[in-house]
Amino acid sequence: MPAVTLLGDEGNYTGCNEMSKGKGKIVSAVIAMIFTASMLTACGWAGDTGSIKSGSELAVDCKTDEALAAFDKAQQGGGLAKYLAELERVAILRDAGRTAEADKALEAYLAQPEVQSSDPDEIESSIQKTVEKLREERRKKTGSATCP
């Protein structure tokens, strides 16, 4: 694995070694999805992981649309963060009860040539674990696992 270099204050990193450090439990679960989904071939540039962290924090605070906007920004930045954001989007939409949108987002993710060799059951399991961790974090912070 390449060395990791911090690039500015936005939380951008090169390489993959640093991705799971200091990004919180939700992002760590999403990172596990990426490992499971064999996305490490994109290891050269991690992308905008700061937007992923921000989006995850917004989701814990029940600010779903703001979280999705942060994931849009991460996707536009490319790199590994693009894939993290796509899967995090599915989990956040499911958490918010927006299942049709979540299904559409997952379908688009799975249709990408670079993830077609991934095991859909493992991806699904990882998404479910991400939703559980999101709700666990929200329960710790607010006393309720779900949004009003």
Alpha-carbon span 118 to 41, nearest angstrom:
13
pLDDT of residue 9: 37
Residue listed under structure tokens 């696992």 = 145
Give the pLDDT band (50/70/90) at residue 26.
low
DSSP per residue, 88-131: HHHHHHHHTT-HHHHHHHHHHHHTSGGGTTS-HHHHHHHHHHHH
pLDDT of residue 6: 28
> Would you kindly state where each structural domain of the chain is located, as residue ranges?
6-142
Give the pLDDT band (50/70/90) at residue 116.
confident
User: What is the reported pTM?
Assistant: 0.70
Which structure tokens are listed for 134? 């999101």
- The terminus-to-terminus CA distance of the chain in angstroms comes to 43
pLDDT of residue 117: 83
Alpha-carbon span 109 to 123, nearest angstrom:
10
At 38-64, the pLDDT tens digits run: 444 444 578 788 889 999 999 999 999
Average pLDDT taken over every residue of the chain: 78
What is the rounded average pLDDT of the residues 5-34? 45
Residue listed under structure tokens 């930045």 = 77
More confident: 82 or 44: 82
How buried is 65 (Cβ within 10 angstroms: 0-12 exposed, 13-18 middle, 19+ buried)?
A: exposed
